Structure 1
Amino acid sequence: MASSSELKSAALMDQMKLHLASDAGKDLVKKIGLVYQINIAPKKIGFNEEIYVVDLKKGEVTKGPYEGGKPDATFSFTDQDFFKVATGKMNPQIAFMRGAMKVKGSLSAAQKFTPDIFPKPSKM
């Protein structure tokens, strides 16, 4: 297996890293201050997942499980569904109700996880 990701969502995570380094990203950290773990599966939730941590306390995105205790909320998605939610093409509540998104941890923390925290895809 290649060490680089084959997930569409991996590019979003890279954009998120850059976004969090910007002023808008720093405002987000001040506003939200929570840690999210995101498990993204190529096809089926729970299988061959790539794990990312979006740390909105420190303002960073890392690959691999969260190591500072428990994240405030953990999400599981397929690559396609995560991409849709993060780019605003699918409402997170609808994704949750359809089972396209699974959530563990604090529901109030989970509700702050919206497409707004992601940088808008750059028009190329």
Structure 2
Amino acid sequence: MATKIDSELKSAAIFQQMQQHLQSDAGKDVLNKVGLVYQMVIAPKKLGKDEETFVVDLKKGKVYKGAFEGKPDATFSFVDDDFVAVSSGKLNPQMAFIRGKMKVKGSMSAAQKFTPDIFPKPAKL
């Protein structure tokens, strides 16, 4: 059973869906294919203010709020609305990066594997 991700951010609903998705057969395929750990830093309006950290662990199939114990393969920083746009396919991740709407630390090759197909297909939020 997935644990509730407690946050006021719109992104939290996506992380909640992702957590359930990773426990499905399609989610297990993602784990086998990607097998990396991503840390997401999401700010409500402006990076650097009131940020919340989430982990998408595609090795263990876990999604949770809080910092990763150790070194994640890549860390992404977003404003809440931009994360929602990227994860729902409304904003191309490369364009988000080029426009400065997404910041990346860590392995660029790992970051490039964080693609929209790891997200569950958009449900109405």
TM-score normalized by the length of structure 2: 0.93
Equivalent residue number for residue 3 of structure 2 = none
Equivalent residue number for residue 118 of structure 2 = 117
- Is 11-20 or 113-122 further displaced after alignment? 113-122
Distance 1:11 1:50 in 2: 14
User: 1:19–1:119: 8 Å Cα contact kept in structure 2?
Assistant: yes
* Root-mean-square deviation (Å): 1.4
User: 1:46–1:76: 8 Å Cα contact kept in structure 2?
Assistant: no
User: 1:35–1:73: 8 Å Cα contact kept in structure 2?
Assistant: yes
Distance 1:79 1:32 in 2: 24
Is it true that 1:105 corresponds to 2:106 in the alignment?
yes
Distance 2:58 2:48 in 1: 24
> Among residues 20, 35, 56, which one is paired with 1:33 in the alignment?
35
Deviation at residue 9 of structure 1 after TM alignment: 0.7
Residues 1-124 of structure 1: matches in 2 within 5 Å? 4-67=6-69, 69-123=70-124
Distance 1:112 1:6 in 2: 28
- Which blocks of at least 5 consecutive residues in structure 2 are unaligned? 1-5
Deviation at residue 6 of structure 1 after TM alignment: 1.6
Between the aligned residues of both structures, percent identity stands at 71
Paired residue type of 1:104: K
Deviation at residue 64 of structure 1 after TM alignment: 0.2
Q: Post-superposition, which runs of at least 4 consecutive aligned residues in structure 1 deviate over 6 A?
A: none
User: 1:36–1:75: 8 Å Cα contact kept in structure 2?
Assistant: yes
Per-residue CA deviation, residues 3-41 of structure 1 (Å, 9 max, x unaligned), is x42211110000001000000001100000000000000
Distance 2:124 2:37 in 1: 28
- Which blocks of at least 5 consecutive residues in structure 1 are unaligned? none
Residue-pair matches, total: 121
Paired residue type of 1:18: Q
Distance 1:90 1:121 in 2: 13
User: 1:15–1:119: 8 Å Cα contact kept in structure 2?
Assistant: yes
